[in-house]
Structure 1
Amino acid sequence: MTRSDRYDLPLSTDSDLAAERYRAGVDLLLSLWPGAGEALDEAIAADPNFALAHAARARLHAVSAQLTEARAKIAKAAELVAANGTERERSHVETLSYAIHGQGQKALASALAHTDKWPRDIVILSMPLGAFGLLAFSGMANHDQARVDLCERHAHHFGADDWWFLTYRGWAHGENGDVKLGRALTERSLELRRHNVNAVHAVAHVLHESGANEEAQTVISGWLPEYPKSGVLHGHIAWHGALIALERGDTERALGIYNEHVAPSSSLGTPVNIVSDTSSFLWRMQAYGHAVPAGLWDDAARYASGYFKDAGFPFADFHMALVAAATSNSNAVEKRVDSLNQLIQEGKLPAGPVVPEICRAALAFAEEQYSLAANILEPVAHDVVRIGGSGAQREIVEDTLLVALMRSGESKKAHELLNKRLHRRPSPRDSRWLNELSSADIASR
């Protein structure tokens, strides 16, 4: 009897137990819920020659930033699939291997070709999607639209109530500007599978993009206690709650969430999440005019010093620049900018000049050279999407530009940007800033 995955794709294993544990493990992997590793290890124990179980375990190691283990597992999967795998399984393993070995462009091309032939192979279809997916980190300016196009091209292969596809389809539409559809899809996915971290994460984002902060806070507060703190995105989901409190000006609550869930001493997330969440929260807090308690920036810098030492990962490069700029380490920012410019000259940085420019702007802003920061950011702000991540994560660049404009006396430009943001969604903070600008303009006449 042929064993198959949840989408009826055949699996090269003779063990019913291995197939069942693989199906369970993949569901846990793609919902980012704890237990995936144990389920996949049980699949491997039931059939040590089951290549896709080794491949899925490699993918989980990669998601958890355990690169050595990921490479060992994918090498074993490649050895096994060469001996007894199908064409689909060989392509599946090869695509994962490209990604695990840092060959992003090859991985993306391979994933797109693979899913054209086997669109219901969701381990591979998941790879180009999401905030940290292959499309987001491709350096493309239109990766948000590309995710929508990919989902819509394959939507007819999935049922209306497929929790996994609803999550990623909703995420894609929400990030691309259709927050109404994104919300409907992601909320339905969370109803179908509550222990789906990617779904609650997507819901938090579409609520942020629609300005529904109180609803987002209710969702996060009601859901997060169910998610073990060991979960890879626990700290990041809490980060959303901290930003909501900061939006309201409730710094006590924002710092309470940060210290309990987000700070390096509290979070058990991956380095890219911890570096980006800590630096972006503290930077926003300071930029919004609140005092950052002593020691918090130093703690963030101490943690970050162990990671992303080499330039070339744009999303991390920018957040590392925030940490260095905020802690007066101008040499580190300048060295990273020089390295990024060298990569551009060598044709090795697809995201392009926006990366070193936003790093330079961060340093100028931290040194209170607000006119310079604004002058650097204005020409490149539209290209920030190239660094990847989500709209909510990249918004810190626009926040920095806006505050730089206000502090450098560019009230007309600040008015225009605030009106544009408020047209997109309501924001108590932006409304307050707009009122302050208007009052200052009246007083100066």
Structure 2
Amino acid sequence: MDRTRVGPSPRLVADGGLRVEDRFGLELSTSSAEARDAYVEAIDRMLAADGHVEDCLAAAIAADPSFALAHAAEARQHQLNVRIPQARAAVETAIALSEAATAREQQHVEIINRLVSGKVPQGLDLIRQHVDDYPRDAFALSPACGVFGAIGFSGRIGREAELLAFLEPLATHYGDDWWFATVHAFALIETGRWDRGRELAERSLRQRPTNPHGAHTLIHALFEAGDDSEAVDFLDGWLPASDRASVLHCHIWWHYALALLAIGRDDAALQAVRHNCLPGATTSPPITVFSDSSSFLWRFELAGNPRERTTWDRVREFYEEHFAQPIVFVDAHVGLVYAALGDTEQLQASISVLQELGATGRLPAETTGATLARAYGAFVDEQWSTVVEVLEPLIPQVVRIGGSRAQRDLMTNTLLAAYVRSGRIDEARAFCERVVDRRPTRPVAGFELC
């Protein structure tokens, strides 16, 4: 079979000697056309970040309970939603059933197994090996992609260029596929090639207009270009018909809120977050709910607005309920909560834990989270010189925490605000000219670039 073939494969069934294939032309070990169709729909929904994935996977498993890849996909879906016991149970079922499947499917299941088991570096190693043989196994490739993927959360400074270098040789195998266009575009945008990334994102949206990953990628391209008004206009048209069950529901509304802040519509931005991002307002994964809520509230204050203490309390309760163990991107935000609430004791306790774990090599970003928490504490205490001394040398290292360039502007703008509030506006401008490789579009009260 030619793996470079692009587009949906024929919906073949097992009778008449024909094999069952997925949308990418890869063989599936099921004799059920119904199971195949439901599985393909589920995978496309996961690749697009659409909602209602569980319904499709349940239909696939009901049609063929022995279909290993459907159970593996169910495990991944549970993992993405931080339902770890369910994820482990599903992947154990997939492993047992894969003994009767193809070698490709067995290795696909093992990739999911390593990820669910927390063996992310080993999972990435197997993904690299797997796509050498099966470059169009999109669902096996997908966990390596994006800022929250296996490369994105590696803690390596050069992870953005690493991801782009990993994806570019695969482009020939996918042609104009809408999903690959989104992940390729995002990698381009994060390495500064936002113009080309925008072209690919727009192509993806032409093929699948409701695709949340495509919309999200386009918003990042507009952010990099400083086109906040265009981002608001696009989302004004796209969001009303979007699926609230999407895993990106909260995050895309967060982007909308930041774009509103950037054009001076602060009250509308706060309302967008209240109704779509805060705990209880969305079914998006906890890591997104916490990081987006806390970072928006901090940015809202940087823009000159009063502290939303009751809302900060709500975010704190959510954090303490959902995150018993350190998680690298979450760790970079926890200091915001305790600093904003003036809980010095809990802030120092968090710093101590993150410092110890980071110093002993048990966190991918090492001690970056602890250092950020110190800076946030100093900021709330109005120790502006300390904030500058801590954050300025850290900015080139912040990429290690994961997240996108847009998300990491939180740290840059905190530094700029400390410069401004200490009367060092010329130094803030000099920092931007020296370090920031695009015009920052997130507002900091009292600061404008000349």
Q: Hey, what does 1:18 align to over in structure 2?
A: 35
Q: Hey, what does 1:146 align to over in structure 2?
A: 162
Q: Hey, what does 2:9 align to over in structure 1?
A: none
Residue 177 of structure 2 is aligned to residue 162 of structure 1: yes
Q: Hey, what does 1:366 align to over in structure 2?
A: 380
Taking the aligned partners of 1:432 and 1:330, their CA distance within structure 2 comes to 28
| Alpha-carbon spacing, 1:45–1:423, altered in 2? closer, same or farther (3 Å) | closer
Compute the displacement of 1:430 (Å): 6.6
| Alpha-carbon spacing, 1:403–1:125, altered in 2? closer, same or farther (3 Å) | same
Compute the displacement of 1:64 (Å): 2.1
Q: How many residues align?
A: 433
Q: Hey, what does 2:3 align to over in structure 1?
A: none
Contact 2:417 2:444 (C-alpha < 8 Å) held by counterparts: no
Residue 136 of structure 2 is aligned to residue 136 of structure 1: no
Counterpart amino acid of residue 245 in structure 1: L
Counterpart amino acid of residue 331 in structure 1: E
Which SS does the other structure have where 1:138 is aligned? coil
Residue 63 of structure 2 is aligned to residue 49 of structure 1: no
Q: Hey, what does 1:72 align to over in structure 2?
A: 89
Of 154, 163, 176 in structure 1, the residue corresponding to residue 191 of structure 2 is 176
Compute the displacement of 1:422 (Å): 7.7
Q: Hey, what does 1:246 align to over in structure 2?
A: 261
Residue 143 of structure 2 is aligned to residue 122 of structure 1: no
| Alpha-carbon spacing, 1:51–1:372, altered in 2? closer, same or farther (3 Å) | same
TM-score, with structure 2 as normaliser: 0.92
Contact 1:418 1:434 (C-alpha < 8 Å) held by counterparts: no
Taking the aligned partners of 2:292 and 2:204, their CA distance within structure 1 comes to 25
Q: Hey, what does 1:397 align to over in structure 2?
A: 411
Alignment of 1:242-391 (within 5 A): 242-311=257-326, 313-391=327-405
Taking the aligned partners of 2:319 and 2:49, their CA distance within structure 1 comes to 24
Of 196, 205, 220 in structure 1, the residue corresponding to residue 211 of structure 2 is 196
Q: Hey, what does 1:441 align to over in structure 2?
A: none
Contact 1:308 1:317 (C-alpha < 8 Å) held by counterparts: no
Q: Hey, what does 1:30 align to over in structure 2?
A: 47
Contact 2:222 2:230 (C-alpha < 8 Å) held by counterparts: yes
Of 237, 241, 262 in structure 1, the residue corresponding to residue 252 of structure 2 is 237
Compute the displacement of 1:6 (Å): 0.9
Taking the aligned partners of 1:430 and 1:336, their CA distance within structure 2 comes to 27
Of 395, 408, 425 in structure 2, the residue corresponding to residue 411 of structure 1 is 425
Taking the aligned partners of 2:435 and 2:392, their CA distance within structure 1 comes to 15
Q: Hey, what does 1:218 align to over in structure 2?
A: 233
Query: Deviations along 1:28-47, whole A, 9 cap, x unmatched?
Result: 11111123221111111111
Contact 1:422 1:431 (C-alpha < 8 Å) held by counterparts: no
Counterpart amino acid of residue 21 in structure 1: A
Contact 2:425 2:447 (C-alpha < 8 Å) held by counterparts: no
Contact 1:276 1:319 (C-alpha < 8 Å) held by counterparts: yes
Contact 2:261 2:442 (C-alpha < 8 Å) held by counterparts: no
| Alpha-carbon spacing, 1:420–1:345, altered in 2? closer, same or farther (3 Å) | closer
Taking the aligned partners of 2:256 and 2:114, their CA distance within structure 1 comes to 35
Out of 264-273 and 201-210, give the one that drifted further: 264-273
Compute the displacement of 1:195 (Å): 2.0
Taking the aligned partners of 1:192 and 1:109, their CA distance within structure 2 comes to 32
Taking the aligned partners of 2:437 and 2:325, their CA distance within structure 1 comes to 39
Cα RMSD for the two superposed structures: 1.8
Compute the displacement of 1:367 (Å): 1.6
TM-score, with structure 1 as normaliser: 0.93
Counterpart amino acid of residue 211 in structure 2: N
| Alpha-carbon spacing, 1:428–1:39, altered in 2? closer, same or farther (3 Å) | closer
Which SS does the other structure have where 1:181 is aligned? helix
Aligned-residue identity in percent: 36
Counterpart amino acid of residue 65 in structure 1: V
Q: Hey, what does 1:102 align to over in structure 2?
A: 118
Taking the aligned partners of 1:429 and 1:335, their CA distance within structure 2 comes to 31
Residue 243 of structure 2 is aligned to residue 228 of structure 1: yes
Taking the aligned partners of 2:416 and 2:212, their CA distance within structure 1 comes to 32
Compute the displacement of 1:421 (Å): 7.4
Q: Gapped runs of 5+ residues in structure 1?
A: 439-445
Query: Deviations along 1:219-240, whole A, 9 cap, x unmatched?
Result: 2111111123232221211111
Which SS does the other structure have where 2:56 is aligned? helix
Q: Gapped runs of 5+ residues in structure 2?
A: 1-17
Contact 2:35 2:64 (C-alpha < 8 Å) held by counterparts: yes
Taking the aligned partners of 1:163 and 1:408, their CA distance within structure 2 comes to 48
Taking the aligned partners of 1:66 and 1:428, their CA distance within structure 2 comes to 34
Contact 1:248 1:428 (C-alpha < 8 Å) held by counterparts: no
Taking the aligned partners of 1:396 and 1:222, their CA distance within structure 2 comes to 27
Which SS does the other structure have where 1:10 is aligned? coil
Q: Hey, what does 1:443 align to over in structure 2?
A: none
Counterpart amino acid of residue 219 in structure 2: A
Of 177, 185, 200 in structure 2, the residue corresponding to residue 185 of structure 1 is 200
Compute the displacement of 1:409 (Å): 3.0
